[in-house]
Structure 1
């Protein structure tokens, strides 16, 4: 019985979609209006959701806001001015190289330390082959 109910619900959704598409074709609804309507239906199912979207269709740009207001979903659409040049987008900063190079210390000394462990660590950093166990003199 559940399969029959699912099939009928799917058929009803399909018929509703076909009806809306034929209405939109008759009304001449543009792509921006379709996007706003689709988002409006999603927001209607999620009362805590609010959406702000920018839609570019050809040279025209539109801002849409879809929110819950007074227990119903409301949407507002506003045309954006695209007549002048926009703000240039700054290039992203280059990512630092990895691994970061170790600072070069003069004469092999690590600044601020005088202990043997620091000197040994610096020697190994400069020449990792010192750790090779096959090299026996």
Structure 2
């Protein structure tokens, strides 16, 4: 059973001065009579706008290719995974329409008409141990 806060601690880089990273925790149900192809149920999701990597008071652009550590908090959740179910973690750069689209320019979205394509990476090695932190309950 997963119960409590969910946080993705990621080491990321981007080609853009600003971008988003999102995390989604999903309960993947196996195929059954009602859903012959299975079913994926979202449990919780969160987002982090990278221009706030140092401070929410003073946005700062990312340096292309530099690696940053970020944390993406998601609202608490509680779910018991039945036999045959799987836990899926989706990491993405967008979760529209749930969250606003980021122009990836570093300019506030309300005043920006230009958009930039961002090449984003999540680093996972001994020096960059990206992880999703979950609270579990026995039984």
TM-score by length of 1: 0.23
Q: Which has the higher contact order (CA 8 A, sep 6+)?
A: 2
The structure that has the greater radius of gyration is 1
Normalized per residue, the structure richer in strand is: 2
